[in-house]
A = this chain, B = another copy of it.
């Protein structure tokens, strides 16, 4: 029995995964802002490396209150818009879940902080990481260029690895089933925080430097100096992650794979030239996700005594560029 979903933020991520779920027969409700009218009238179009498809009719909303109660609210907004979440969250069915498909550290805890007051019963909080190249190229028009994998896990308020209890397992399992039926390669992790750190090993250098240097992944990989700089940034993230994990779970052997940075460099080398999501945001005049992707990890590193001078410098540069970039 498929679950029902609300997609909060119908852009490159929400539009793609939501359309996939609807295509697979799920009951999906899309919350929109500027694209509300065109999507209400003409539905969604997905150009995908896995085959193009159109959904001529979708459930489109411009107010969260109009969405009927759903099993799962998927948060696919940029983290920069999270302050608006209290107004954007629809009603959940009993035993419902919130699933954040956002980048950065401490995303789930941030959502609980923001929503705590208005949630009569705290729902299951899940998080996920999207390994996808996609972009919104027009109103209701998503282009899926490469990859697409999802990695999902449960939020644990103590930041411990989290073998899912029965209830949790139940809804997470159903979500995985729905995505799998929707032809999305979906895996689960018992350690969502470390999965978030692992993704940051890539996101910190490539997202950050792509904006500062106005460069694609390939241009950066082809330059010896930038490769060296990427390696420095990756090492800072890995050290921060492992030190944090040992502090939070002293008895465990929680750590990122030793080869993670080398692996990511090799993978990126074989990717087609790729404009990162932060660069796309920058080019389109949108606020950059520097708080979630750089500042939170920096502060966490600092809290466990790890110096991150390169990340700090990059964050300071991006803060300047971000402030100047946003239309006043």
This chain: copies in complex: 2
Q: 12 A-B Cβ contacts within 8 A?
A: A212-B317, A213-B320, A215-B324, A219-B320, A220-B320, A223-B320, A225-B320, A226-B316, A228-B316, A232-B313, A309-B313, A310-B313
> What residues on B are CB-neighbors of A260 within 8 Å?
none
Contact string, A314-328, partner B, CB cutoff 8 A, digits 1/0? Answer: 111101110110000
> What residues on B are CB-neighbors of A310 within 8 Å?
309-310, 313
Interface residues of A in 287-328 (CB under 8 A from B): 309-310, 312-317, 319-321, 323-324
Docked CA distance A67–B317 (Å): 47
Interface residues of A in 209-254 (CB under 8 A from B): 209, 212-213, 215, 219-220, 223, 225-226, 228-229, 232
A-side binding surface: helix, strand, loop or mixed? helix
B232 touching A317, Cβ below 8 Å: no
A225 touching B309, Cβ below 8 Å: no
B313 touching A223, Cβ below 8 Å: no
Interface size on A (CB < 8 Å)?
25
A residues sitting closer than 8 Å to B (CB atoms) are: 209, 212-213, 215, 219-220, 223, 225-226, 228-229, 232, 309-310, 312-317, 319-321, 323-324
A313 touching B212, Cβ below 8 Å: no
Docked CA distance A68–B316 (Å): 53
The 8 closest A-B pairs by CB, nearest first: A309-B309, A225-B319, A225-B316, A229-B316, A223-B320, A226-B320, A310-B313, A313-B313
- Using A219-B324, A323-B223, A324-B219 as known contacts, say yes or no to A229 and B317 having CB atoms under 8 A apart: yes
Docked CA distance A315–B232 (Å): 13
Docked CA distance A317–B225 (Å): 7
> What residues on B are CB-neighbors of A213 within 8 Å?
212, 317, 320-321
Docked CA distance A220–B279 (Å): 21
